Amino acid sequence: MRTQVAIIGAGPAGLTLGRLLERAGIDAIIIEQRSADYVLGRIRAGVLEQSSVDLLRDLGVNARMDAEGIPHDGVELSFDGDMLRINFHELVGRRVMVYGQTEVTHDLMEARAASGARSIYEASDVAIHDFDGERPRVSFKKDGQHHEIECDFVAGCDGFHGVSRASVPADAISIFERVYPFGWLGILVDQRPVAEELIYAHHARGFALCSMRSHTRSRYYIQVDSSEKVENWSDDRFWDELRNRINPEIAERLQTGASIEKSIAPLRSFVAEPVRFGRLFLTGDAAHIVPPTGAKGLNMAIHDVSVLAGALEEFYAERSQAGIEAYSPTVLENTWRTERFSWWMTQLLHTFPDSGDFGRRIQRADFDYLRASRIARQSLAENYTGFRV
Ligand code: RFL
Ligand code: PHB
């Protein structure tokens, strides 16, 4: 098989890149190790920045997002029960869109299937060869048969545990990482959301987040110790703990019910440098991880692939290397800015086992500064809704 760009991974990064390249008339094959149903079964992100919404519209995969997504003008912060609304629209003139990653993935998959572009699901033993030269190859097994794809470029869109970053020699890559001593226990439930907007809550017992997928489906998270097991959390235990951590008047309105999904996600900040190795590009979670507190992971993935698609378009149209050379520095600048913001929101809102009374007073001072200063709120709003230089 031969293609111009081999895309490893059919998550949001791979599928969005596939669509961007298709629009530019560049041939690509997506190679995914899981089945399409498995990919769609993962419950992940829920918030799209304006620039992600604009890109999905531009790509013509917006019909359902525009019909079912919920535009939000702001979010609520709760600190030991004290509430503060951050009105994005009033502060920076932008909004976000609540629309699940599952739905984005579904829309992109459908568009790809309709266009007849090639995707290979359930590929095993995926391996990347010769990305240092001009003729990279990707090999894999499918239904017991060995296959090989010759290509010009390889896009590593295969998430944190993928093969792309792992294919790079250890001395060619630097890793910057912080693993937090806690995770998020998330629950999905078919009940009305407790509030119209998301509520990010700090509490001495730990962080909590009230989010949603629609007007009838809610998503809630609570901070739990890294050692916690999901089996230890009955639905009732989850609801009791959530109620303890949010403002009591809001807690009274909480509509509980049987969970339809429950899982624990560890929290990590992670950056690989650089993100290009010859003709191999890392994108999305393959290149970086943020804790979910700033709702950034999916949006970063979409940003990376739009930069990459621009670089590849320039290469094929003008035989110019300029965009390819600029890929790593451009992506890393956005990555570090977003890492800083996600780290900051995480340290403001979570309870850290070792921070002591001094650390807790500093968190309170940070919240009080937000309450007192429009400029501080504006900075939060600018970053949350997506800051681009
Ligand atoms: P993905 O989604 O992990 O997709 C990678 C794909 O590659 C496949 N793969 C391979 N394919 C072939 N060969 C191999 N060797 C392969 N190894 C892996 C995988 O099967 C998969 O299909 O990465 P991508 O595309 O970079 O997308 C990144 C986002 O998924 C991620 O950043 C977000 O979900 C993060 N995130 C959030 N982001 C937001 O922007 N807003 C949010 O509100 C938000 N909330 C969240 C989140 C992530 C969470 N978890 C579970 C980590 C909430 C949570 C709880
Ligand atoms: C979600 O709804 O899953 C969600 C929303 C906001 C975040 C993280 C996750 O910051």
| For the chain, domain boundaries | 5-72+96-176+268-346, 180-266+350-385
DSSP 2: B
* pLDDT of 43 over the 90 cut: no
Same fold, 5-72+96-176+268-346 and 180-266+350-385: no
Please pick, among 202, 296, 303, 350, the residue that the annotation labels catalytic.
Answer: 296
CATH 3.40.50.970 describes domain 180-266+350-385:
no
Q: Using a 6 Å cutoff on CB, does residue 159 contact ligand 1?
A: yes
Active-site residue, 180 included? no
Active-site residue, 12 included? no
SS3 254: coil
Q: How far apart are the first and last CA of the chain?
A: 39
Active-site residue, 296 included? yes
Confidence of residue 271 (pLDDT cuts 50, 70, 90): very high
> What's the pLDDT at 26?
98
Q: Long-range pairs for 305-311 at CB < 8 Å and ≥24 separation?
A: 305/13, 305/14, 305/16, 305/17, 305/20, 305/155, 305/157, 306/16, 306/20, 306/55, 307/331, 308/17, 308/155, 308/281, 308/283, 309/17, 309/20, 309/21, 309/24
What is the residue with the minimal CA distance to atom 4 of ligand 1? 11
What is the residue with the minimal CA distance to atom 1 of ligand 2? 46
384 CB burial (10 A radius; 0-12, 13-18, 19+): buried
Instruction: In whole angstroms, give the CA distance from residue 116 to residue 80.
Output: 53
Nearest ligand to the C-alpha atom of residue 72: 2
> What's the pLDDT at 248?
94
Q: Using a 6 Å cutoff on CB, does residue 33 contact ligand 1?
A: yes
What is the residue with the minimal CA distance to atom 2 of ligand 1? 11
Please pick, among 200, 220, 221, 327, the residue that the annotation labels catalytic.
Answer: 200
Q: Using a 6 Å cutoff on CB, does residue 350 contact ligand 1?
A: no
* pLDDT of 45 over the 90 cut: no
Active-site residue, 121 included? no
Question: What is the rounded average pLDDT of the residues 246-256?
Answer: 96
Q: Which atom of ligand 2 is nearest to the CA of 43?
A: 3
Nearest C-alpha neighbor of 46 from the set 19, 79, 12: 12
Active-site residue, 384 included? yes
Q: 10 Å Cβ neighbour count for 298?
A: 26
> What's the pLDDT at 389?
79
Q: 110-152: per-residue pLDDT in tens?
A: 999 999 999 999 999 999 999 999 999 999 999 999 999 999 9
C-alpha 295 – ligand 2 centre gap (Å): 5
Residues 6+ apart with CB under 8 A from 319: none
Q: 318-350: per-residue pLDDT in tens?
A: 999 999 999 999 999 999 999 999 999 999 999
C-alpha 179 – ligand 1 centre gap (Å): 17
Place of tokens 């962080």: 207
Instruction: In whole angstroms, give the CA distance from residue 293 to residue 348.
Output: 10
Confidence of residue 38 (pLDDT cuts 50, 70, 90): very high
- Specify the CATH architecture of the domain 5-72+96-176+268-346: 3-Layer(bba) Sandwich (3.50)
**8 A C-beta contact, residue 8 and residue 163:** yes
> What's the pLDDT at 44?
83
Q: What is the mean pLDDT of the chain?
A: 97
